[in-house]
Each structure stands twice: as C-alpha cells, then as structure tokens.
Amino acid sequence: MLVTRKTDYAVRCVLYLAQANEQIANVTEVSRTMHIPKTFLAKIFQKLTKAGLVESIRGMNGGFRLAKKPSDISLLDVMDAVQGPLCINVCAVDSRKCNRSATCAVHPVWVELRKDINKRLREQTIAQLIAGR
C-alpha cells in the first residue's frame, strides 16, 4: 500500500478547507499556504468535487469549500476520491484479477489487511485530525 503524493496533498487540502470554517478558498491561496503545486492542486480539487467532498463556487470571488462537515469526511473518503480503492494486493479488491485467489494461502491475509486498514481510515475523520493537532 502506498499513499500517493496526490493523496497526501488532497488530505492537506481538505484539512485547510475544514479549518477555513466554510469560507471560500481559492486555488492560489491553498497552494501557497499548503505548499502544493497550483496545477496539481487544480486536478485534486476536480477529483474532490466529483466525489462530493468539496464544492466549487464559480465567479469573481469563487473558489472551493467543503461540501460536508469535517466530522462527516473520513481519511478513506479522501483517499478513495483521489487514488481509488486502497489495497495491499489487487486480488484483495477484486479476486477475479487473480486466478489463484481461491487456492492462495496468503489471499485471506491480504483481504483482512485491506479490511483493517479501510476500517481504521473510515474511523478517522477530518474533524478528529484537526482536534488532535
């Protein structure tokens, strides 16, 4: 399992928006404050918006803000939005990807690890991360 740079940036971005208390933040502001390349951040915002975690506000004073309360956004939500399902091995996400899943001795371990990691990430909300700082 690898948390991509894009996912790391997405988490930072969501944390920033959560601390902005529903105020609209533009890409330049978030980029500068969170040290995220602006062009990369624009793509991240697109993914977060498509996933319903962030809403895009158009216009002269437009930008982005959270579409949900920080307590309703988990780390898993952000990770899924940006990099898709998290897995140790592709067979843990879709056993049809490997013709040995049914007889593989380690397959159940991969599946259990994936469940454990997803559970932990699902339980960790953005609000908890902010409160723990």
Tell me the DSSP string of 64-108. EEESS-GGG-BHHHHHHHHH-S--SSHHHH-GGG-TTTTT-SSHH
pLDDT for the residue 37: 93
pLDDT for the residue 88: 74
Q: Is 37 left (phi over 0), alpha (psi -120 to 50) or beta?
A: beta
pLDDT for the residue 6: 94
pLDDT for the residue 32: 94
pLDDT for the residue 65: 95
pLDDT for the residue 10: 97
In the chain, which stretches have pLDDT less than 50? none
The H or E element spanning position 52 is none
Read off the CATH number of the domain in which 48 is found. Answer: 1.10.10.10
β partners of residue 125 = 74
pLDDT for the residue 111: 83
d(CA 122, CA 75): 6
d(CA 133, CA 131): 6
pLDDT for the residue 92: 66
Domain that holds residue 44: 5-131
Report how many domains make up the chain: 1
Residues 6-26 have pLDDT tens digits of: 999 999 999 999 999 888 999
pLDDT for the residue 79: 95
